[in-house]
Every structure is written in structure tokens, then in C-alpha cells.
């Protein structure tokens, strides 16, 4: 009998079509494996035109609800049910539990580990090194800082660094809270929980471990470092991946966090700050890393990480990775609100040494709104090199050829 995999949504809320999204890579990997594919979505009309040939069946459902997803799939019983998209990853994990497809992660909270405050609380319970933290619940007035400044303020259910900001005063915190409370939704009817997490700002480089857990054993593909835009925001301007470690304790710390969460099977994107006393968690996403980083992993290892995850879900042998240096994504970000009047230099950038691809998220005529989040990124260059530094130089040099002109509104 042909194995079957069901995906819950393929793109973030309200996101434009993106043939390089991690969910699309999952569909392609399933095709290579001869696996039947189902997509559970509330937005078939947006997805089908550019992935139709990769999907065997479509199911319409309210993908904000684990019960609705489980009900929609009740008669099909796929071998695996996944989502690599925030905020649907937790929905898929909960639906898989309801369908008894996922019996390896018995310690899940109701909505998976999408709640960043719940993750912090679990680390404290298990004595895992953790940032100091507090929450601002919906409706509570802001009269003081709950922790010593500076703080990082973020929604407990946020993604792409939306509404994430640095706060050093009560007024900063009040503005951050007020701005988030004005957000009616993340798009496509996904409504914020309204609770904000305040964290001690950690000192040191922001890095990540990329990999998956298989029967409680970590498979680490490698580590990424990154550069950030100016404060008070945390926009990632470049990410460079390689298999060589960035800290001797990072993998062991990732294993300790996964053990504390009871996360025994599935992919993860694990961000930490390398403090003077060792790695400390920023956040863990229990899904395959997105934003193009999965393609950098593939380029640097010679193996599709999306396929590795599907193989693990289906009980198939994993592929042997081959170290092939490093790969970097270098982003161009929106300088101001307006609309795109011209995009030039992409072909020149594509022909530059080491460049693998140039991907633009916008077209001429598209509106642009700056948010201080990773949604401000308009274009990226993916380039390879022998080291992270070499790949970053190659990607940055090529990106210097790209010009995206924006006329003010």
C-alpha cells in the first residue's frame, strides 16, 4: 500500500505564493519517495495554481482548529500528518494526537509547543538553563517593567518576529503591548492570543541548531549564525549554515530542551544566544525551519532536509549527509512604506560567484509596509562557500547588485 502524508497548510497566514517554501519542498520530497500527498487547507484557491501537480488530494477544513483537521482526515488515516508553517504546526501536532498518528510525543500540551511562555515554564520546571521571563496577559495595564531592562517583548504565539521589540523603559513596553493589542489578526482569520512574553535580553551571538529528533535521539544537521538589523527590532538580515559546530555545548543543550519538553519525534529549529555561561534558549520551533534556511541546509549537506524528516516520519532509512561547506541567505529589507516601482540586477546577482539562487518576494506594483519584523525582507540571495564567512561574503556581494526601488505612498 502506498504511504501517505498529509500537510496542514503550506504557507504562513496571508503569505503570497512561494515555490521555495518548506511545505512545497515537503511535497517535492514526497514525490521523490513515491508517497501520496494530501493538503488540508482553507485556501486551496491560493495554493493549487502553483503546486497542483504535487498534490494528490485536497481537503477543505478550518485549519485553525485541530478538531476540524482531525475530523476532515478521520476516514483517510495518513501515515503522517505534519505542518511546517506557523501557526499551523501546533494544530497539525494536536490533530495527529487526536487521530493516534503520533504516539511518540505523549507529553504535548494541547496546542503543541507553539506557546513560548509554556516552553519557558517547562524549562524552569526541569532546571534547564533559561532566560528570566514574565508575561503580560490580555487586558492587564502596563505600570512597570516586570524584569530589569533591557527586555525582549514578543507575542507568545508569534512568528517571523512580528511585534517583537526591545524595551528599555515602561513607555517602551507600553507601546509594544498597545501595538500588539491593536493587531486584529495575523492573517487568514488567525487571531493572536493577546499575551505577550517579556524576556531578559541575552548578551551574545544569536545562533541556531537545525535538525530533528528520532525516537528521542537528536539528528543535528548543523548550525546557523546570523546578522540582525538595527534595534529596537530583531530583523534577520543574513543567516549562514554549516555542519561545523558553533559552540561545544549547543547540541547537548538542544537535547536537554527537547527532553524537558518531551519532544521525541519531529524536526526542530532551535535558536539560542551564546552567553558567557553557555547557550540559552531564545525559542524552539517544533517544525522544519523555513524562510529559505532549509534550502541552505540542502545546499551545504547535499541532502534534502525535508526528505529526511518525511523518511523519519515514515520509518524509512535516513540519507547520509555529505559536508559541502556552507551556505548563506543574504536579505534585502524594505527601507520604507510605499510600492515597488522597479526591481533590477537580479540576473547579475544570479551570475555572481558562488550564487545558487536569487528569490524576490515582491513584484513591481506590490505594496510594501515596514513592520520591524522578518516580513520586511523583500529579496534574498542564496550563495555557497567553504565557510560561513565565505558564503556570507559571496551572498552579500551578489545582493549589492540588486536594486528594489520603492516610491512612497
For the chain, give every domain's residue range: 4-98, 132-200, 206-407
CA–CA separation, 64 vs 356, rounded Å?
36
Among the listed ranges 8-22, 114-128, 163-177, which one has the minimum average pLDDT value? 8-22
Mean pLDDT of 23-39: 97
Q: Which CATH code fits 206-407?
A: 3.30.470.20
What is the phi/psi pair of residue 27, to 5°? Answer: -65, -45
Residues in the chain: 409
CB 112 within 8 A of CB 90: yes
pLDDT confidence of residue 52: 83
pLDDT band per the 50, 70, 90 thresholds, residue 409: confident
pLDDT confidence of residue 111: 65
Mean pLDDT of 42-61: 94
DSSP symbol at 369: -
Dihedral (C-alpha) 2, 52, 25, 88: value to the nearest 10 degrees?
-90
| CATH for 132-200, options being 1.10.4160, 3.40.50, 3.30.1490, 3.30.420 | 3.30.1490
C-alpha closest to that of 68 among 99, 101, 107: 99
pLDDT confidence of residue 17: 83
pLDDT tens, 149-208?
A: 999 999 999 999 999 999 999 999 999 999 999 999 999 999 999 999 999 999 999 999
Greatest mean pLDDT among 38-42, 139-143, 183-187 lies in 38-42
pLDDT tens, 348-362?
A: 999 999 999 999 999
Q: Identify the sign of the CA torsion 315, 211, 94, 58.
A: negative
CA–CA separation, 380 vs 402, rounded Å?
10
62 burial level (CB within 10 Å; 0-12, 13-18, 19+):
middle
Query: CB 58: neighbour CB atoms within 10 A?
Result: 14
pLDDT tens, 219-241?
A: 999 999 999 999 999 999 999 99
Query: CB 392: neighbour CB atoms within 10 A?
Result: 23
The overall pTM is greater than 0.75: yes
pLDDT band per the 50, 70, 90 thresholds, residue 76: confident
pLDDT at 303 over 80: yes
Domain 4-98 has what CATH class?
Answer: alpha beta
Terminal CA-CA length for the chain: 56
Helices (H) and strands (E) in the chain, counts: 11, 19
Compute CA distances 295 → 122, 299, 356, whole Å: 31, 6, 10
pLDDT confidence of residue 105: 66
Amino acid at each position: 500500500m502506498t504511504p501517505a502524508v498529509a500537510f496542514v497548510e503550506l504557507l504562513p497566514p496571508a503569505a503570497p505564493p512561494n515555490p521555495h517554501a518548506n511545505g512545497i519542498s515537503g511535497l517535492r520530497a514526497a514525490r521523490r519517495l513515491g508517497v501520496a500527498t494530501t493538503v488540508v487547507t482553507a485556501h486551496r484557491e491560493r495554493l493549487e495554481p502553483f503546486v497542483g501537480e504535487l498534490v494528490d488530494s485536497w481537503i477543505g477544513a478550518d485549519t485553525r482548529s485541530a478538531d476540524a483537521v482531525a475530523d476532515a482526515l478521520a476516514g483517510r488515516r495518513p501515515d503522517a500528518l505534519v505542518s511546517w508553517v506557523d501557526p499551523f504546526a501546533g494544530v497539525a501536532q494536536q490533530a495527529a494526537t487526536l487521530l493516534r498518528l503520533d504516539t511518540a510525543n505523549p507529553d504535548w500540551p494541547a496546542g503543541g509547543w507553539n506557546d513560548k511562555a509554556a516552553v519557558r515554564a517547562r524549562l524552569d520546571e526541569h532546571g534547564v538553563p533559561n532566560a528570566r521571563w514574565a508575561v503580560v496577559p490580555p487586558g492587564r495595564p502596563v505600570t512597570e517593567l516586570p524584569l530589569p531592562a533591557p527586555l525582549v517583548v514578543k507575542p507568545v504565539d508569534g512568528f517571523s518576529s512580528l511585534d517583537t521589540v526591545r524595551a528599555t523603559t515602561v513607555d517602551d513596553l507600553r507601546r509594544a503591548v498597545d501595538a500588539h493589542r491593536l493587531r486584529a489578526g495575523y492573517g487568514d482569520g488567525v487571531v493572536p492570543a493577546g499575551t505577550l512574553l517579556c524576556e531578559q535580553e541575552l548578551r551574545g551571538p544569536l545562533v541556531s541548531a537545525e535538525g530533528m529528533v528520532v525516537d528521542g535521539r537528536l539528528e543535528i544537521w548543523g548550525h546557523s549564525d546570523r546578522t540582525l538589523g538595527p534595534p529596537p527590532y530583531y530583523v534577520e538580515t543574513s543567516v549562514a549554515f554549516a555542519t561545523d559546530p558553533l559552540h561545544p555545548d549547543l547540541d547537548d543543550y538542544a537535547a536537554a530542551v527537547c527532553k524537558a519538553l518531551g519532544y521525541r519525534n519531529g524536526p526542530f529549529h532551535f535558536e539560542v544566544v551564546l552567553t558567557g555561561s553557555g547557550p540559552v534558549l531564545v525559542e524552539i520551533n517544533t517544525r522544519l525551519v523555513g524562510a529559505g534556511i532549509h534550502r541552505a541546509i540542502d545546499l551545504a549537506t547535499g541532502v534534502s532536509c525535508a526528505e529526511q524528516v518525511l523518511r523519519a516520519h515514515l520509518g524509512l532509512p535516513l540519507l547520509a549527509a555529505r559536508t559541502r561547506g556552507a551556505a548563506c541567505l543574504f536579505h534585502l529589507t524594505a527601507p520604507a512604506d510605499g510600492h515597488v516601482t522597479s526591481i533590477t540586477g537580479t540576473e547579475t546577482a544570479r551570475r555572481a560567484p558562488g550564487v545558487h539562487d536569487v528569490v524576490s518576494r515582491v513584484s513591481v506594483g506590490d505594496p510594501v509596509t515596514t513592520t520591524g519584523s522578518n516580513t520586511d525582507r523583500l529579496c534574498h540571495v542564496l550563495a555557497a562557500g567553504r565557510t560561513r564567512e565565505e558564503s556570507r561574503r559571496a551572498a552579500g556581494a551578489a545582493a549589492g547588485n540588486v536594486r528594489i526601488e520603492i516610491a512612497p505612498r
